[in-house]
A and B are shown apart, each in its own frame.
Chain A
Amino acid sequence: MKNRNGKAEQGWGRRIVLLAPYLWLAVFFLAPFVLVLKISFSQTALAQPPYLPVIDFAAGWEGIRSFFSQLTLDSYRLLSSDLLYLFSYLRSLEIAAISTLVLLLIGYPIAYGIARTPQEWRPLLVIAVVLPFWTSFLIRVYAWINILQRDGLLNGLLTRLHIIDSPVGWLSTDTAIYIGVIYSYLPFMVLPLYASLEKMDESLLEAAADLGCPRWKSFWLVTVPMSLPGAAAGALLSFIPIVGEFVIPDLLGGSETQMIGQTLWTEFFSNRDWPVASAIAVALLAILLVPILFYERLQQRSLEGGRQ
């Protein structure tokens, strides 16, 4: 009997431990999301809060019924009819995709270089990669304004080197956005790549060489495929937040087509249109669900694969 009780208690303890993360997700992710979802089906109103309907619990069952009958798809209709939103989404995806590609191209050599330096130097280099995090993100982006503006550091340097005759307008261009994004997200690409490259067994490369594979080829046949999970992790860790990026395009970008984060901000703060802003957020989440699920599956696979 006692034994059985003990077991049951152990089971409860276990369940509580398992429950904790779900509870966390329910309170801090699911509940806010349901709110956002609900607002996205509402209509704007000159009221506090600035949308309708609001559940009137005092009216009881009738109140709840009238609440559901007032929900509408108007915001989503607007999203799909006004090309402004579509362009905004496409632009965000385009910037995120190109940035991620460039991040891979820059991040891979960095991660590979760190993984191949002598063991005692690696921690120092990893710290160097993470070091920018010690300064506020906002301040670092502001610093880029200083560097990129017309009388900024970059133009000054290029003029002094006689590469350009007159200052170039770097700021408020796509180039500035790309510079800011790539600079900010580089650690997110380098760290997972480094993690997968660093644990790679040196003897695999020896085995490849032994079987007739020259050095440059074993890089493509062994190193690259083995680092794919790291590359995928890095790409998704960069791509997903870049799509929703607001600060960088807002501070460094121009006034042409906005990224979706900026559009959302405008709807929410300037237009006070909470329902449309919420609909944008929900649609963005739906779009990002594709790469997120892909990432989940990849992780699942590597867990099941059970690395030796």
Chain B
Amino acid sequence: MMSEEKRESVATDNTPMLVRFDTVTKRFGSFTAVESLTLDIAQGEFFALLGPSGCGKTTLLRMLAGFETPTEGRILLDGDDIVDVPPHRRPINMMFQNYALFPHLTVEGNIAFGLRQDRASRAEISQRVGDMLTLTRLQGFEKRRIQQLSGGQRQRVALARSLIKQPRVLLLDEPLAALDKKLRAETQFELMEVQRKLGMTFIIVTHDQEEAMIVADRIAVMDRGRIVQVGPPAEIYESPNSRWVAEFIGDVTIIEGRAVARDAMATALGRIGVSDTDIAPGQTAWIALRPEKITMSEHRPGGDVNAVVGTVFEVGYRGDVSIYKVRLSDRSLMKVAVANVDARARARFEPRNTVWLSWPPQAGVVLTK
């Protein structure tokens, strides 16, 4: 519930911008990692940089931390250009991908490291280390050495260490990549809880679109050094602005066609109704269809829906849903997700069965690139 509230309160037009990348370019030799990129991140946001490896997301994060200097452009924090500020003077902390914990220090020594650099008093250090141990549920592990910890515990030490200085921005570089799937899922919710408790700005870098959608208030999808779309997870998922984004985030079937009316397109599958668009008739466009928006039935459904007939080609049972690949009249495959609401549902359609696939016109997203 709280996270829902937060999603609405954050990222409105009047929230003050905390971090601004202003036409930032970073080149390594002849390779351009980040290309004239502009991005605003608001105070208190949980922001995700999402993209395939090599898209420049980590470079962007490292420029904010101060480990890389932009070739061109400015990086503003609270309105001040921080490009010339060395990393140790930036009120920004980072949780490293491999955690980069100091193996020669104990858990306590690692967590207190940042405060010690600020010459905090002994009493303050011990109090705040205690707070962090509580926050990350590491009480009792103070004196342990890093080598004696499990992967999950190391991850929490790294989090505590990067939070203790109460940075203006916390950067998380693939923070959960080293954890197994189940632990990762739990930790995602823990991260959200910590972020909400502290009201801090978190910027996470990940290549896992599911992770980005779960934790983040807003996502910037990156490809080859550029941001291709920024928005809340639901917007990115439901209204991708290109085929590339639609295909990168989740499963999708893309149908190519030509606009014939404001609300219809001619495709290899026949005339397909879409919601109103402003595409000029005759222009080529694509319809992106999410698997869960499609209904599968034995007989042709009635009503104002698009319906195509096909043959079940493959079924992938995933427990909660089954993913069907259905061969259509033009030999293309359409992915359909059917929720396994009752136990018998799984057996309903089998390979080689003839099925009808239908979806309302507004379920498809029309894309022009």
Contact = CB atoms under 8 A, between A and B. Distances in A.
Given A206-B67, A305-B145, A211 B113 contact: yes
Interface in B41-76: 65-67
Contacts of B100: 201, 203-204, 206-207
30 contacts: A201-B100, A206-B67, A206-B94, A206-B96, A207-B96, A207-B100, A208-B113, A209-B66, A209-B67, A209-B86, A209-B88, A210-B65, A210-B66, A210-B87, A211-B113, A211-B114, A211-B165, A212-B114, A212-B117, A212-B118, A212-B165, A213-B117, A222-B104, A225-B104, A226-B103, A226-B104, A228-B104, A305-B103, A306-B147, A307-B103
Given A209-B86, A213-B88, A305-B145, A203 B117 contact: no
A214 interface: yes
Given A210-B94, A212-B117, A222 B88 contact: no
Given A212-B117, A305-B145, A222 B87 contact: no
A209 B87 contact: yes
B98 interface: yes
Interface of B: 65-67, 86-89, 92-94, 96, 98, 100-104, 113-114, 117-118, 145, 147, 161-162, 165
Contacts of B96: 203, 206-207
A48 interface: no
Given A206-B67, A305-B145, A222 B117 contact: no
Contacts of B114: 211-212
Nearest to A212: B117
A5 interface: no
Residue with the highest number of chain A CB atoms closer than 10 Å, among B94, B145, B165: B94
Interface of A: 201, 203-204, 206-214, 217, 221-222, 225-226, 228, 305-308
Contacts of A222: 102, 104
Given A211-B113, A211-B161, A211-B165, 10 more contacts: A201-B100, A203-B96, A206-B65, A207-B96, A208-B102, A208-B113, A210-B94, A211-B117, A228-B104, A305-B103
A233 to B, nearest CB: 16
Contact of A207 (B66, B86, B89, B102): B102
Question: What are the 10 closest A-B residue pairs judged by CB atoms, nearest first?
Answer: A212-B117, A211-B114, A207-B100, A203-B100, A209-B87, A225-B104, A209-B88, A210-B94, A212-B88, A213-B117
